Amino acid sequence: MPSERGRSGRLSAWQYHVRVPRVALIAGLACGCLAACGGTPSPPPSPGPNPAPRSVYPASCPGQEPHSPTTAPTVAAPAQIQLPLHAEQQPGSTNPVLVDGRGHSVKLVGVNWYGAESPDLVPGGLDKQPATSIAHEIKQLHFNSVRLPFSDYIVECNPVVAPALIQALKPPHQLRALEVYDQVVAALAKEGLMVVLDNHSSDPTWSPDQNDALWHANGYSTDQWIRDWIAMAQRYRGVPSVIGADLRNEPNDPAEWGTGPPESDWRQAAERAGNAVLSSSGNPNLLVMVEGIKLGIDLAGVSHDPICLQPGQTTAYSGINRCPPGTASNSLVYAPHDYTQSQPADVNSDPTRLTERLDNEDGWSSAAALAPVWIGEFGTCNTTPRCVRANANSAPPEECANTTNSGPVGTWFANFTEYVAQRDYSWAYWSLNGTQSTGGPTSPQRDRSQTECYGLLDRSWAAPPPSAAELICALQSMINPSAATYPADGCAKGTAPPSVPQTGGATTSTVPTSPSCGPSPCGSTNGVTVIITSVKRTPTNYYGEDLTSKGRFLVRMGVRIINKGNESIAVDNYHFGLLDSKHIVDSTSDEGYGSRCGLTGNGDPGLTLAPGADVTMSESLCFEPRGSMGSSFVVALALGSGGEVDVTVP
């Protein structure tokens, strides 16, 4: 979540929301949950030499009856990919990537749906829309995954939820927190969306205070935290769409990486919890997501103290620099966070310095060399285009975007998202929510009546607000950066968002369904399949030339080529073009446009497809409407083995 503390842990000048009168909910919630959990338990063992003050919430509930099932209802895996996922170093790839059971790369592109970690105890919006409707809207926005926060408290106590918080669920009967969580997970899975479980806090709260900066906090011990993770891993073993365990949200000072005593060494704690999650008592199929320290951003310690997962081991690996043989490296994902307040303004405003900061000082490049990187949180306001676009001279006037110490939020967002697109990292945007969840004692200004100005949905939770159009377009352009404008380019006013893939760059939501390729246009010849993954037509500037004034438009097309045969095949030539009723039409070259826009779209890629090869390419073309030119785009590949593959898309 967007922290209200700066990089050093001190309070920053950034004010996230207007303060509003605190609702009288916290005390009643605490009392109600104590009753639901069977009374006040005895204090648990101290987590370390300086135990945190006792919380108003019970850290264990020994008298509670197991009203909820110990496992969630089974839900089948999505059809378009073969789960579970794992990390793999593929031929030609510099860093490990996530792949499915067929060996196809999968990029997680998702959102955070918060609320279950808050005093509300359930994901937000269920008072306005059923979980099935919200899950469907996530899918319609072209995301393929959801990070779903929870607190240790709901695992330990599983209290009854206030009916007003879930009045849109059907049937409307009394439910406990994990039963609601089950329904949300099932709704996401049925939409084909992948789910990452996120241990966001110990107590239900919005922004953890200094007492909740570690994984053992507010009376919860490290052993309890690990037991809670085993319980959650077991609970969703029958739901293949639950693919990952984000072990802890934003460990902060005094957390260290590989140094200091065990009670503050995040590397040791993450290894112990990861080993437990992957054990036979947990779920060996899960990915283990490990965040950095200093509010999630700092992975610098990975270069000398990498995470070494050994499923079933109860102690952390004591070596340094490298992991021992047999380590479950294919289950590990590094999961940093970044926001505008994570860096000072002079870094946020300079793409080169921001890249240097993240890659080297924060260790993201070293981490990416060892395991896939999934950015579990980043976000900006949705209130104005200046939340999204680089604008070094002015900041949005809205208080939601008032980041004086870190510079204009749009400048950081444009530079950061371009960095992510260039690295092709997986990510989850913060957040989906249309309205806030209750903040609790650490953030009393937050309540459910307030609009979430970082959210992608409106207050009804039924659709995005008009003000978020540019934000959504920027996020969609990150999904397949080879075939769309970079986020920093913004979106041309009045144009529709680009078509984007659901998983691994292989589908689009705007074209007719093909029997062999799912919802993507494709064609096959001699074992070679060509899939058009996305097409974006935009009147825009291109290398300083104003195409709109010349009556031209730019098209960026992404293509995936797969050799399903048993022999290598050479691609002699390819052509990207625009189709009319008679022939393929390309604009004529004048005023230097031929060299600047690739007008003919012809090329000799010098490409040889090995058996099983799966490659992507893109092309940018400039077109000038003339004559009877139609509106369908075509990709044609001439194969050295003979034959041609032609694919068209309207």
pLDDT of residue 551: 54
DSSP 107-143: --EEEE---TTSTT-S-TTTTTS-HHHHHHHHHHTT-
DSSP 371-415: S-BEE-B----SSSGGGTS--TT---SSGGG--GGG--HHHHHHH
Cα 571–Cα 572–Cα 573 angle in degrees, nearest 5: 100
Q: Which of 214, 295, 407 is nearest to 7 (CA)?
A: 295
Q: Containing H/E element for 585? A: strand 584-585
Q: At what angle do helices 409-423 and 469-479 cross, to 10 degrees?
A: 20
| Rounded CA separation 295/95 (Å) | 25
| Rounded CA separation 84/233 (Å) | 14
Q: What confidence tens digit (pLDDT) does each residue in 348-382 have?
A: 989 999 999 999 999 999 999 999 999 999 999 99
| Rounded CA separation 366/362 (Å) | 9
Q: By the 8 A CB rule, do 190 and 132 touch?
A: yes
What architecture is the 26-489 domain classified under in CATH?
Answer: Alpha-Beta Barrel (3.20)
In this structure, what token pair is assigned to residue 72? 């969630």
| Rounded CA separation 74/80 (Å) | 18
pLDDT mean across residues, the chain: 74
216 phi and psi angles, rounded to 5 deg: -110, 115
Residues of the chain short of pLDDT 50, as ranges, are 4-55, 58-60, 62-69, 392-393, 482-516, 518-519, 539-545, 547, 579-605, 625-631
**Start-to-end Cα distance in the chain:** 40
pLDDT of residue 409: 87
Determine what percent of the chain falls in helix, strand and coil, rounding each to the nearest 5. Answer: 25, 20, 55
Domains 26-489 and 522-649 in one fold: no
CA distances from 24 to 92, 210, 438, 444, 445 (A): 58, 24, 11, 10, 12
Q: How far is CA 541 from the centre of its chain?
A: 30
pLDDT of residue 505: 29
Strand pairing of 426-429 and 109-112?
parallel
In this structure, what token pair is assigned to residue 594? 């031929």
Burial class (CB in 10 A: 0-12, 13-18, 19+), 170: exposed
In this structure, what token pair is assigned to residue 419? 């960095």
Say whether 147 sits in a helix, a strand or coil: strand
* 176 contact partners, CB below 8 Å, separation of at least 6: 36, 67, 68, 158, 159, 160, 161
What is 522-649's CATH superfamily?
Immunoglobulins (2.60.40.10)
Using the structure block, give the residue that is written with the tokens 């990952």: 244
* 96 contact partners, CB below 8 Å, separation of at least 6: 87, 88, 89, 329, 370, 371, 372
| Rounded CA separation 420/475 (Å) | 11
pLDDT of residue 243: 97
Q: What confidence tens digit (pLDDT) does each residue in 277-327 have?
A: 999 999 999 999 999 999 999 999 999 999 999 998 888 776 666 787 777
pLDDT of residue 352: 94
Q: Which of 64, 340, 260 is nearest to 177 (CA)?
A: 64
| Rounded CA separation 182/195 (Å) | 12
pLDDT of residue 527: 67
| Rounded CA separation 276/229 (Å) | 8
Domains of the chain, residue spans: 26-489, 522-649
